[in-house]
Amino acid sequence: MDWIVSASGTLELAGERVRAALGRSGICAANLKQEGDGATPTGRYRLRRVLFRADRMPAPKTALPCREIRADDGWCDAPADPAYNRPVRLPYPASHETLLREDGLYDLVLVLGHNDDPPVPGAGSAIFLHCKRGDYEPTQGCVALDVADVKRLLSLAKPGDDLVIEP
């Protein structure tokens, strides 16, 4: 199944459109995506796996692979590093994101298959579907939904499904 995100900031979910936050720089063609540009890349991305904060919520109901976020979970965003756009264990010497965040954005994370087979250095890292901030404030390039909508999507998603970000 395809989960469609439009450039206008909506996602089709179980027959209705729900709000979605996109990158602070809007959207861009996937082949133009650059590390740190703040744009959400258009394209078709496989739903890879789910990460969640077990100290803040129970494991979501989903058919996708799922595991809790640990204190030493990170994601490398250094284009010159061999682990670019891959999960890493903290502490990690190169630039990275910490997945155990205090702001709630990564309480529930759907890892998308963007730039991961294999990663192209500088073509964007850590493009996730995660929880929104505030009143759908822009992201750094991810797609963000209300936590209830993330849970609902995960309850319906199956291995082999894709998130499609349309221009």
12-36 per-position pLDDT tens digit: 999 999 999 999 999 999 999 999 9
Q: List beta partners, residue 96.
A: 76
- Region 40-56: mean pLDDT is 98
Contacts of 87 by beta carbon, 8 Å cutoff, 6+ apart: 73, 74, 75, 76, 99
- Region 48-76: mean pLDDT is 98
Q: Tokens 């990564």 identify what position?
A: 106
| pLDDT value of residue 109 | 98
| pLDDT value of residue 150 | 98
- Region 32-43: mean pLDDT is 98
Task: Give me the chain's average pLDDT, please.
Answer: 98
Give the 3-state secondary structure of residue 32. helix
- Region 66-93: mean pLDDT is 98
| pLDDT value of residue 73 | 98
Could you tell me the two tokens for 131? 């929880």
- Region 60-76: mean pLDDT is 98
Q: Whole-model pTM? A: 0.97
Contacts of 43 by beta carbon, 8 Å cutoff, 6+ apart: 30, 114, 164, 165
Could you tell me the two tokens for 141? 């390039």
The domains located in the chain, with CATH, are 2-165 (2.40.440)
Contact in structure between 60 and 151 (CB atoms under 8 Å): yes
| pLDDT value of residue 104 | 97
Q: How far apart are CA 84 and CA 60, in angstroms?
A: 28
| pLDDT value of residue 122 | 98
Each residue's pLDDT tens digit, 87-144: 999 999 999 999 999 999 999 999 999 999 999 999 999 999 999 999 999 999 999 9
Each residue's pLDDT tens digit, 128-166: 999 999 999 999 999 999 999 999 999 999 999 999 999
Burial zone of 61 (CB within 10 Å; 0-12 exposed, 13-18 middle, 19+ buried): exposed
